[in-house]
Amino acid sequence: MLQIDNFINGSFKAASSGRRFDKRSPVDNKIIASIAEASAADVDEAVKAARAALHGEWGSMSQETRVGLLYEVADEITRRFDDFVAAEMEDTGQPEHVMKHVFIPRGAANFKVFADVIKNVPTESFMTDTPDGRGALNYGLRVPKGVIGVISPWNAPFLLMTWKVGPALACGNTVLVKPSEETPFTAALLGEVMNKVGIPAGVYNVLNGFGPNSAGEFITSHPGVDAITFTGETRTGSAIMKAASEGTRDVSFEMGGKNAGIVFADADFDAAVDGIFRSAFLNTGQVCLGTERVYVERPIFDKFVTALKAKAESVKFGRPTDAGVNYGPLISREHQNKVLSYYNKAVEEGATVVTGGGVPQMEGELAEGNFVQPTIWTGLPETAAVVKEEIFGPCCHISPFDTEEEVVAKANDTEYGLSTTIWTTNLNRAHRVTARIDVGISWVNSWFLRDLRTAFGGTKQSGIGREGGVHSLEFYTELRNVCIKL
Ligand code: NAD
Ligand code: 6OD
């Protein structure tokens, strides 16, 4: 069976405690790997290695050499594309096309884009008048923040982990990565890539394990970790923020959402159905930007519900490697139970189940997998649990609306503020509505269309700070002002 060890100071190592945990396949729940669970001593060793790298070859490397190495990381990921696709597919159970077209290419792009950003974004400078007439030159200097703790989730493991590691390294930091316990494969593969291209030992470290009283907490509470970047659930963010308050360390948080999709009657109907189908059901609904609340203008409501139902019923479940399969399972049995409990709650709350609501009939070993049906509900009030709480599964509630005022109020009636997707052909309306919805990311006639130079993040309980483009530099560097009296 596959053994995955921690990656510390450029070497793969079993845990100093000898502890390991099992990794199960989402498609049949068989144990497919044994993972080393990092101890507090392992985390301490990684922090020391990361600090030494900052004071060693990595810290003194020219920017040109550093960004050149990051380009090589991206190229090596591309050379080993099939290995990364296979690893991520095994880990998540998601179909090959999602891996090949979104998750793995984005992982490689995350290294190149931020190498370009750090090379090309200037800092400010001011000439300052002084009473003696000689003046002073002020200029900004970006310096690395230090050792960064990167805590990642399981839903798009490689994309989300490299989205933080790419800019952190481009800015000259070193990292301790804690992949989700559910998806440790690609973080380990990236260790091989780092060694292959010659990233110095200690720059990239991977510590596997869980959250509380395990690698996650050991990293976030270690005083040698200078800042923490986290993607995951909002309540985990609260725990990490408490840990980061010791030593007043900086945090960047990308967290949960309960995002609204809004379809106006003037929308391109087919494009809107396709768009909402993707936003509600891609990756088996396990996308933070996903749309679990859909609002459709009344004149097209019935037609829209019928069209989305037909698409939801057309998916083909199975192993990602089987021909024709385009739909995968949820990540774990625990998550399947959570999603199914919401499916039951929707019925108890009086929902009309348009489609789905249960587990698909699977044959043989796949009957043990974490599959659930894409599910659509109508008829619930805005106060219903499945309309209010993040489920993180392949499901959405669809309600009709009559006015712009009404739909904006409904979209904003949530403790979250991550993203929205709006479908209309009226440009004035598009500008008006996006300006009024309280989220970090607004898509119009699209969803999850990403330009990595743009700001990414959430308002309210969906996040703290922004990453992407120059915004990543704000978090991953300290901006030092130098004032020289002339
Ligand atoms: P999670 O919060 O359970 O776990 C995320 C990571 O935090 C894991 O590595 C976990 O081991 C670690 N962790 C858990 N408790 C910890 C603690 N006390 N201290 C330190 N580390 C700890 O989230 P998940 O279930 O892996 O991911 C799903 C969630 O992530 C959803 O809520 C989703 O909306 C959110 N998400 C947000 C974004 C975004 O960009 N806003 C992107 C993807 C996922
Ligand atoms: O595209 C990204 O950069 C990003 N962070 C996506 C998040 C997806 C959430 O599941």
- Are 335 and 479 found together in one domain? no
Active-site annotation holder among 88, 254, 297, 467: 254
pLDDT at 162: 98
Active-site annotation holder among 171, 288, 395, 396: 288
pLDDT at 22: 98
Q: What is the pLDDT of residues 259-306, one digit of tens each?
A: 999 999 999 999 999 999 999 999 999 999 999 999 999 999 999 999
- Are 445 and 474 found together in one domain? no
Q: What is the pLDDT of residues 51-101, one digit of tens each?
A: 999 999 999 999 999 999 999 999 999 999 999 999 999 999 999 999 999
Residue pair 211/132 in contact by the 8 Å Cβ criterion: no
- Are 245 and 264 found together in one domain? no
pLDDT at 442: 98
Task: Please indicate whether residue 26, judged by its CB atom, sits closer than 6 Å to ligand 1.
Answer: no
Q: How confident is the model at residue 254 (pLDDT cuts 50, 70, 90)?
A: very high
Percent of the chain with pLDDT over 90: 100
Q: How confident is the model at residue 200 (pLDDT cuts 50, 70, 90)?
A: very high
Task: Please indicate whether residue 155, judged by its CB atom, sits closer than 6 Å to ligand 1.
Answer: yes
Task: Determine the residue type at 308.
Answer: L
Between the CA of 111 and the centroid of ligand 2 the distance, in Å, is 15
411 belongs to a structural domain: yes
Clarify whether 288 is annotated catalytic.
yes
Q: How many domains does the chain have?
A: 2
Other residues' Cβ atoms within 10 Å of the Cβ of residue 39 = 20
- Are 220 and 308 found together in one domain? no
Instruction: Give the strand pairing for 477-485 and 136-144.
Output: antiparallel
CA 23 to chain centre: 20
pLDDT at 465: 97
Ligand 2 atom at shortest distance from the alpha carbon of 163: 3
CATH of residue 267's domain is 3.40.309.10
- Output the average pLDDT for the chain: 98
Task: Give the residue whose CA is nearest to atom 6 of ligand 2.
Answer: 160
Task: Please indicate whether residue 472, judged by its CB atom, sits closer than 6 Å to ligand 2.
Answer: no
CATH of residue 85's domain is 3.40.605.10
pTM of the entire predicted model: 0.97
- Are 385 and 469 found together in one domain? no
- Are 294 and 427 found together in one domain? yes
Q: What is the pLDDT of residues 342-369, one digit of tens each?
A: 999 999 999 999 999 999 999 999 999 9
Residue-by-residue DSSP string for 339-377: HHHHHHHHHHTT-EEEE--S-----GGGGGS-----EEE
- Sign of the C-alpha dihedral computed for residues 290, 293, 296 and 302 taken in this order: positive
Between the CA of 231 and the centroid of ligand 1 the distance, in Å, is 5
Residue-by-residue DSSP string for 309-335: HHHHTT--BS-TTSTT--B---S-HHH
Q: Which of 6, 288, 333, 415 to mutate to test the pocket of ligand 1 (most atoms within 8 A of CB)?
A: 288
- In residues, how long is the chain? 486
Across the chain, which distance is largest between two alpha carbons, in Å?
86
pLDDT at 100: 96
Residues 6+ positions from 59 with CB-CB distance below 8 Å: 53, 144, 172
Between the CA of 362 and the centroid of ligand 2 the distance, in Å, is 30
State which residues form the domain around 298: 259-451
Tokens 């969906």 — which residue? 462
Q: How far is CA 383 from CA 201, 236, 342, 469, in A?
A: 52, 24, 14, 38
Residue pair 6/38 in contact by the 8 Å Cβ criterion: yes
456 belongs to a structural domain: no
Q: Which two tokens stand for residue 379?
A: 């008829």
Task: Please indicate whether residue 288, judged by its CB atom, sits closer than 6 Å to ligand 2.
Answer: yes
